[in-house]
Amino acid sequence: MKPHTEIYFAPLQGFTDYVYRNLYAETFDGVEKFFTPFLRVEGGEVRRKDVADLDNTAAHSVTVPQIIASCSEDVDILAQLVIDKGFEHCDINFGCPFPQQTHKMRGAGILPHPDRVEEVLKAAAKYPELKFSVKMRLGNSDKTECLAIVDILNDAPLSFVTIHPRISKQMYSGTIDMAMFQELTAKINHPIVYNGDINTVDDINRITSQFPNIKAVMIGRGLLANPFLAQDYQRDGNCGFDVKVYMKFISNLSYGYLMQYDNSEYMALDKMKTFWAYPPPGVSKKHVKEIQKSRSLTEFITNVAIAVNNL
C-alpha cells in the first residue's frame, strides 16, 4: 500500500489563530504542520496581534509562521522575529488574493514583479538558521506570471513550494487549473505541496494519485468544515465524524475565545459564528441559520449539537 502523504493545515486569516491551532492539535490527529496566518509589518513594526499569536503558540515543533512582504526590509524584521520566538521554519506568502495586500505588491500581488520576488528571497537567504518555504498562486491576474519566477524559485534555498492553482482574481471560486499546476511543478526543482479545493478523503486520494511525488497536501477550508478530515485520510477513511469529540471541541473552543476576549461573551459568540461560514458536510442551511441566530454561547452550543446530531 502506498504510504500516506503528509497533511498540512493552511493558514486562514481570521480563523486559524493560536486559540484554534492549539486546541485543534490537542483534539485531532493527522496534521503534520500548522501554518500561522501571515505576519506583516505596519509602520515599521510587526503588528502586536501577530507577535501575540506567536507568543501563545503551544506546539513550536509543528508550527510554521508565515510572513508576507514585498521588500527586503520587511523580511529582515519578520525573519528576526521568527528566530527570536524560537521557530525553525518560516513560510513566505506569495499567494494572498485580497486587494488590501495585492495592491501593496504583497501576496499574489508580488508575482507580476520578478525583481521583488528575487529581493524577498535573497533577503530570506541571509538567515540560514531558518528553513524557508513559499506558498504561491499561479499569478495575480495572469496564470503565466508564475512561469516568470521559476528560475528565481529554483535558485533560492527553499524546503518546498506550495501551489494553489488559481490566480488571485478568482479568490476561492472558479476552476482549479490542474494543467498549469502540472506544468509549473515540472519546472520547479523543489518539493511541491498541493493546495486548493480539498474537502474529502477522495479529494486527497485523487490528488496524490495524480501527483504521487508531491511532498504534502495543504488543506484549509476543508479542515475547518470537517476537522476529522486529516485523521480520516491517515486511517484510510475509517475515522468518520465523531459528534461527541466534535462537540467537546466546539465547547472548548468557545471557552478559549471567551478567555481571549476577557470574558466578553458577545465577542466570543461573534467569533464562533464566523466558523459556520464552513459548516460540517451535511449540515442543512436551516440549521446554519439557527446557529447564526444564537444569542448566547449556551444557545450557540445547543444549536450546533442539534445540527450535527442530525448528520
User: Which tens digit of pLDDT belongs to each residue from 84-133?
Assistant: 999 999 999 999 999 999 999 999 999 999 999 999 999 999 999 999 99
Nearest to 119 by CA among 82, 63, 73, 59: 73
Burial 174-202 (b: 16+ CB within 10 A, else e): eebbeebbebbbeebebbbbbbbbbbebe
Residue 1 has pLDDT above 60, yes or no: no
Q: What is the CATH number of domain 6-234?
A: 3.20.20.70
Residue 258 has pLDDT above 90, yes or no: yes
The pLDDT value given to residue 239? 80
pLDDT of 236 reads 86
pLDDT the model gives residue 191 = 98
**Model confidence over 270-297: pLDDT tens digits?**
999 999 999 999 999 999 999 999 999 9
- Averaged pLDDT for residues 44-59: 94
Please, are residues 230 and 261 in contact by the beta-carbon 8 Å criterion?
A: no
Q: State the alpha helices, DSSP H only, in the chain.
A: 18-27, 48-55, 72-84, 99-102, 114-124, 150-155, 178-187, 201-210, 221-225, 229-234, 243-260, 265-274, 285-292, 297-308
Give the per-residue pLDDT at 202. 95
Domain regions of the chain by residue span:
6-234, 243-308
Task: Check whether 3 has a pLDDT greater than 80.
Answer: no
The reported pLDDT for the residue numbered 237 is 78
Q: Is the pLDDT of residue 156 over 70?
A: yes
82 phi and psi angles, rounded to 5 deg: -60, -40
3-class secondary-structure state, position 21: helix
Pairwise CA distance, residues 154 & 151, whole Å: 5
Distance of CA 37 to the CA centre of its chain: 7
Tell me how far CA of residue 29 lies from CA of 32, 149, 173, 281, 294, in angstroms. 9, 36, 29, 19, 30
